[in-house]
């Protein structure tokens, strides 16, 4: 399945709880709460350019499935990760959370899970193709 396309966020679950857990400050969380994040994906075989536009910032990561690369995470920190595929899902593990992304029809569904002593918190973002 091709991920290529442009997507606009239409819903998110556990937004505040997850972003506080990964260390984003309250003002950044507040600013982004109702912002319509735009995700643009360009796929060329197993090479991807994944860009997300947030308030006052666009984060672009380029990666090849199965090869280590440096990526910027939600909190703005860069780390070495290897993106893999599990079926039709992208899988990436950052130091503070684990992310999966898949295309379901005309929707991009991203699930980011962070663990706490009390259990897991998952931010689920659903974006529509535009």
| Three-state secondary structure call for residue 126 | strand
- CA dihedral over 103, 83, 15, 35, signed as positive or negative: negative
Query: What distance in Å separates the CA atoms of residue 88 and residue 104, rounded to the nearest whole number?
Result: 9
- 84-114 pLDDT per residue, tens: 999 999 999 888 889 999 999 999 999 999 9
Residue 1: is its pLDDT beyond 70? no
Q: Does residue 69 register a pLDDT over 90?
A: yes
> Mind listing the domains of the chain with CATH numbers?
5-129 (2.40.128.20)
The pLDDT, as a whole number, for residue 57 is 84
Which pLDDT score, from 0 to 100, does residue 24 have?
A: 86
pLDDT digits (tens, 9 = 90+) for 22-64: 888 898 888 888 888 899 999 999 999 999 998 778 999 999 9
pTM equals 0.89
């Amino acid at each position: 399945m091709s991920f290529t396309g442009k997507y606009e966020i239409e819903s998110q679950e556990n937004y505040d709880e997850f972003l506080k857990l990964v260390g984003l400050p309250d003002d950044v969380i507040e600013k982004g709460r109702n912002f319509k994040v735009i995700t643009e994906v360009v796929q060329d075989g197993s090479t991807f350019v994944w860009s997300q536009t947030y308030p006052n910032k666009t984060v672009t990561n380029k990666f090849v499935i199965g090869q280590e690369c440096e990526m910027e995470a939600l909190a703005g920190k860069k780390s070495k990760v290897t993106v893999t595929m599990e079926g039709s899902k992208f899988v990436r593990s950052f130091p503070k959370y684990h992310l999966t992304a898949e295309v379901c029809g005309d929707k991009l569904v991203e699930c980011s899970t962070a663990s706490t002593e009390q259990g897991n918190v998952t931010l689920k973002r659903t974006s529509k193709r535009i």
